[in-house]
Structure 1
């Protein structure tokens, strides 16, 4: 069984009275979101310090936690240089099956996308992903990770943030120009600043994760969902394969079930054997009980402190939206913070991080809420009737099968509410990483903004376009016949169409123009680098009865 790495504690120089300049960026929390953000910042030339109160990766041992990595997240990890290790170690899947009362009701195959660098989903325990991120950070001269350094107090002021950090050798104080709190759902950083998230709903629906290791198991590498499984007392079960012959099992608990009793080894073994038979030989790698709620901070920025991942928003895990959403937070924030720190961008740029990622959070909440209602209608009579009708019709009617909602899988948010976009068709969407012969579309992009010109030669009008943060790239020369067909299928654009797409550093499309006039380019870049402050988007109608935690 895998053994988690332990990282050494090193005495901070502040404890010995050595003067230190304010750190440009301090990331609080060395989990998935914090490590992704720190690696991105370091790659963008920002000295970054990560403070983590533990000395290893993962949470509470070999907890699988986030384990289903979406295509968009894999694209981000590709840019950060760790996707190859994740896909090599992880388990690829694209078939899902749903059973109700032990009978098959539907199955579906995720669209095969050979045109794209990363096809579908990869399952890998979160502690592996975090370990790969730590190892990548260790190779970055601008990055430092301090283990067993717990932020005990925080005070935000106009010029930055003062942190009090506890260590095995005692506390010390640290100044930062900017701090990013990635310290989880209970976020001590939020509490230190007197902030509380807006709670959009809670549920009594509880589940127990039982990760089991079954060497040589011949189960198909598919996602299985049992609705109303007789082996689980008429409640739901999920099954996913992960690395190391390990299978993630999620069993829905009875509303009156004692969680402590359910988590005993004897009770867990009975539950697994009831589903798969007494002959199954397995070892429990990890277990944990979880419940869920939907919440989000009113603003993801509080002065010089920003919030990301579970510290910013919580969403039910239906559709693998938690960890993937946190990585996409980091992806959105890193380039903006780097431009503010190193390239003179206006601080208002960071307000758009809150605008855009709150839109992503609300989209995840909406989708997860629909899935949770289908899996667990609770006392909602109309939802239960709808569910029963759909399940009864799904084996015969394709349209009903498409309504089976056990977790719509995570997809990238299109930032339609963003002030950084031109508002044209396609603006705000994530650019797919289309394969182009020996390379891919994302590999053509520069580190900051990129003007993709779908042509084989640069139009004379664009030859004079220059900006230190802009790369102008011709797409057609990188394309063979297959790549040209792939661009048409995936983007609806020809390699020689003459279209010009301005792509942001996070690979989202800022604008798509049939024939871009050179004079527009500086204006579009200026809008992205120094936006005017904007009011946050209105909350969706179903969030009007939200409360503060």
Structure 2
């Protein structure tokens, strides 16, 4: 069968190629450039817990060695510290340690230069037999048929590429989106930031900082908000919020901002620093009307642009890839399954639209300047909390969203019980026992294309799997898992937040909870799995025969 064509070799496109390869789906990545990402320390990305884990799982690279985990977070307003958070080292596992009610420790975001991230993805792809990267290949035509997609690229020699599906991961000016004539409405230049990467010492080693209305602002200065994020080797990225408009950011203005800010933070009249890179970051808010047209899909910046108030668009782009990969893989291996493929747009577009609405509603409040709301008691702390949400990945601006209203969500499961994770939300990463008897993290079993069935069974962790795998309810559950309409892996956890003993969790390949059942309920488990797949899955041979008869 033909490979999936991926247009664009940025982080989202490369991640999608790796995610498909892990599920035995070949792909070809069309890169309009030479295949190299220019090192730029002023171009960095902040990954939350779930997206950092996704990249680590796909590349096998411990990203802590490539980037910087924040030691803490500090919010300031004028001279006052509004909020300070310390990211504690996570215990090995709160539940296994015997305290299932203990709150999970805050996981620090990971800050990494974008060229380092793409370098790790390229290195992993170089070892991958199922992925071909075609450099200097600029797309200029797409043709669709019921059986596949054909794409034409310009280059040293024009080439026609044949694929089963095509995914446009080709950025804000997406050629794929334009060829499909998909509208991309939204707002331009919602925020503008001057950016500098420099090596220096700050009073808060390893701690990210948001400083609003700093007291050292000189007359006429509009630097009303400064963000500092650490990188490895004593490097910091500083962002200054710029006023609306298109005023030119001159080198002299940027150097004045650097000196003024470092003087204000360190108290030194002539702070030492080494300027490494500069730039201007412009935030747009846009959302494509459609994310799927036949066998062609949009993902990442080709489908959406966001990033105001501390939110980070790459997180959502990586979640696009994670969501789409297992659905494309199932369709590639088992034939057309329209409801499942349609759910990609239904789920992901709704999530990003909600994130954009939350940011657009907060922008007038946070950027509206003076007025009555500036004098409302507690308003400053409320504003700070909103911004912290965006930067740390929590609340409506930043938390990973669930798919509770997904068309794949099962309906009327009688044996469903509540647990600490709502249906549709990402599961908590607990220690589980795999089928080979090894202890692994639940998140490590994701992304293989299989459904996960997790039995909560206190006490099993102290015994070897062979002693309990044939005892109690295990044989009946194992038989139910074998009978599911799609490949599934049976895992056992000592505990799971909010779950009673013998609770059975059904988890999607991308780590979102489908349902939690009260005990072994084969009929309910089967119905939930079938709904997760978009309905009954036809065999590949049957699907191909049906396509041939049309």
Superposition deviation, residue 499 in structure 1: 0.6
Superposition deviation, residue 81 in structure 1: 3.6
Superposition deviation, residue 460 in structure 1: 4.5
Separation in 2 of the partners of 1:451 and 1:334? 20
1:45 is aligned, of 17, 21, 24, to 24
Change (3 A) 1:31 1:403: closer
Superposition deviation, residue 463 in structure 1: 3.7
Q: Deviations over 1:365-398 (max 9, x none)?
A: 13433553444226xx6xx53345356764xxxx
Farther off after superposition, 453-462 or 408-417 = 453-462
1:407 equivalenced with 2:390 (yes/no): yes
Separation in 2 of the partners of 1:220 and 1:452? 41
Separation in 1 of the partners of 2:137 and 2:523? 50
Separation in 2 of the partners of 1:257 and 1:273? 23
Secondary structure at 2:25 match in 1: coil
1:492 equivalenced with 2:498 (yes/no): yes
1:87 is aligned, of 50, 53, 64, to 64
Farther off after superposition, 232-241 or 413-422 = 232-241
2:344 is aligned, of 335, 353, 358, to 353
1:70 is aligned, of 48, 56, 66, to 48
2:208 is aligned, of 209, 212, 223, to 223
Superposition map of 1:50-129 within 5 A: 50-58=29-37, 61-62=39-40, 64-82=42-60, 84-109=61-86, 113-114=90-91, 115=93, 119-129=107-117
Change (3 A) 1:53 1:388: farther
Any conservation in 2 of the 1:161–1:177 contact (CA below 8 Å)?
A: yes
Any conservation in 1 of the 2:182–2:290 contact (CA below 8 Å)?
A: no
Match of residue 462 from structure 1: 477
Match of residue 292 from structure 2: 301
Secondary structure at 1:507 match in 2: coil
Separation in 2 of the partners of 1:52 and 1:327? 18
Superposition map of 1:23-38 within 5 A: 23-38=2-17
Separation in 2 of the partners of 1:203 and 1:111? 36
Match of residue 449 from structure 1: 451
Superposition map of 1:269-284 within 5 A: 269-277=255-263, 279-284=270-275
Change (3 A) 1:211 1:390: farther
1:528 equivalenced with 2:532 (yes/no): yes
Match of residue 237 from structure 1: 226
Separation in 1 of the partners of 2:209 and 2:517? 43
Secondary structure at 1:407 match in 2: helix
Match of residue 131 from structure 1: 119
Match of residue 515 from structure 1: 519
Q: Deviations over 1:439-494 (max 9, x none)?
A: 32234566410111113554453242214733342414xx4xxxx4xx3xxx2124
Match of residue 191 from structure 1: 178
Secondary structure at 1:123 match in 2: strand
Q: Deviations over 1:110-163 (max 9, x none)?
A: 576534799331111121111101111111111111122111222333333221
Match of residue 205 from structure 1: 191
Give the TM-score of the pair, scaled to structure 2: 0.80
Secondary structure at 2:52 match in 1: helix
Farther off after superposition, 85-94 or 385-394 = 385-394
Superposition deviation, residue 329 in structure 1: 0.5
2:424 is aligned, of 428, 448, 468, to 428
Farther off after superposition, 459-468 or 270-279 = 459-468
Any conservation in 2 of the 1:202–1:294 contact (CA below 8 Å)?
A: yes
Mark the runs of 5 or more structure 2 residues left unpaired by the alignment.
94-103, 264-268, 434-438, 461-470, 537-550
Match of residue 488 from structure 2: 471
Change (3 A) 1:151 1:217: same
Separation in 2 of the partners of 1:270 and 1:124? 26
Match of residue 16 from structure 1: none
Change (3 A) 1:312 1:220: same
Separation in 2 of the partners of 1:283 and 1:316? 28
Give the TM-score of the pair, scaled to structure 1: 0.80
Any conservation in 2 of the 1:181–1:308 contact (CA below 8 Å)?
A: yes
Q: Deviations over 1:199-243 (max 9, x none)?
A: 2x44553211212233x6664211211212343535211110112
Match of residue 267 from structure 1: 253
Q: Deviations over 1:16-55 (max 9, x none)?
A: xxxxxx7320110010110110000011001111111122
1:377 equivalenced with 2:368 (yes/no): yes
1:157 equivalenced with 2:145 (yes/no): yes
Separation in 2 of the partners of 1:67 and 1:322? 9
Secondary structure at 1:197 match in 2: coil
Match of residue 96 from structure 2: none
Match of residue 545 from structure 1: none
Separation in 2 of the partners of 1:97 and 1:328? 27
Match of residue 13 from structure 1: none
Change (3 A) 1:296 1:402: closer
Any conservation in 1 of the 2:5–2:165 contact (CA below 8 Å)?
A: yes
Superposition deviation, residue 102 in structure 1: 4.1
Separation in 2 of the partners of 1:288 and 1:235? 18
Superposition deviation, residue 244 in structure 1: 3.6
Name the Cα RMSD after superposition.
Answer: 2.9
Secondary structure at 2:253 match in 1: helix
Separation in 2 of the partners of 1:104 and 1:139? 48
Any conservation in 2 of the 1:36–1:327 contact (CA below 8 Å)?
A: yes
